[in-house]
Amino acid sequence: MPAAQLELWQVAKRFQGVVAVDSVSLTATAGQVTALIGPNGSGKTTTMNMITGLYPTDAGHIRLDGVDIARLAPHKVAALGVARTFQNIRLLASETTLANVLLGAHRHQSASLLDVLFGLPAVKSSETREKARCEALLDLVGIAPLRDVAVGGLSYGDRRRVEIARALATKPRLLLLDEPAAGMNFAEKRALADLVLAIRDMGITVLLIEHDIEFVARVSDHIVVLNFGREIAAGTPEEVRRMPSVIEAYLGTEDA
């Protein structure tokens, strides 16, 4: 499965008069890490929700390897190889880490409902295969010892990693991360940066929303800056850092 290329062209979204995304065009190049940055309320999460089909677009195109996915239901977008994490962590708090990650493996289970109801061997082999795959992912993101712990009791950083493992369990070609470093300490952020690069090297395109500029600069090949629902700049980390409009709109507000 080759990495997927994502292209947004003049995508827009309004909520009862509030313009959340005015017009966003961007490309997440296949096999690269693209960062989507911008001040609070600039429309980053809304853009991600449109890509994953949670919100219908009001205008524009969203293309995955040239195919328009803007009208697809979220589970169909997921089936095309798009996975995501959530800014406001959405895990099943009472379930274990492994059970949460196994939900991501749902669409790769091969046993049918009849297999399940009549206890046929296909159920067990499919379940064993997916469990092994998910355990390897827990290992990859560095939470293997927490396999049987209910996620409700985990630290912020660990829960974010459970979300990443769950997204990886869907076998994505494009991974969308919404503020994965939020709430993490310095050491955790370093480990997360390595993880993002490892994911990219596995042949998965990454689109990353993040406020921590150091983190973004470390992992991104390309940065797109949003403000008031429009992209105001794009380029490599070095280029974007030097753009006056960016400093004014984004970095300026934080440093001031």
Ligand X SMILES: Nc1ncnc2c1ncn2[C@@H]1O[C@H](COP(=O)(O)OP(=O)(O)OP(=O)(O)O)[C@@H](O)[C@H]1O
- Contact between 96 and Mg ion (CB under 5 A)? no
- Contact between 45 and Mg ion (CB under 5 A)? yes
Span 28-57, contacts to other proteins by CB under 8 A: 52-54
CA distance 83 to 100: 14
Beta carbons within 8 Å of 236's beta carbon, 6+ residues apart: 221, 222, 223
Amino acid at 129: R
| DSSP count for the chain of H helices, then E strands | 11, 10
- Contact between 113 and ligand X (CB under 6 A)? no
Beta carbons within 8 Å of 36's beta carbon, 6+ residues apart: 26, 44, 47, 48, 207, 208, 209, 224, 226
CA distance 190 to 209: 16
Beta carbons within 8 Å of 109's beta carbon, 6+ residues apart: 126, 127, 130
Return the one option of other proteins, ligand X, Mg ion, none that residue 92 interacts with (CB less than 5 to 8 A, by type).
other proteins
Beta bridge partners of 178: 209
Binding mask 72-111 for ligand X (x = CB under 6 A): ---------------x------------------------
Span 216-255, contacts to other proteins by CB under 8 A: none
- Contact between 34 and ligand X (CB under 6 A)? no
Footprint of other proteins (CB under 8 A)? 52-54, 73-75, 78-79, 83-84, 86, 90, 92, 95, 99, 102-107, 109, 111, 113, 116-119, 123, 126-127, 130, 142-146, 148-150, 152-155, 157-158, 166-167, 170, 185, 187-188, 190-191
Footprint of Mg ion (CB under 5 A)? 44-45, 87
Footprint of ligand X (CB under 6 A)? 15, 18, 20, 38, 40-46, 87
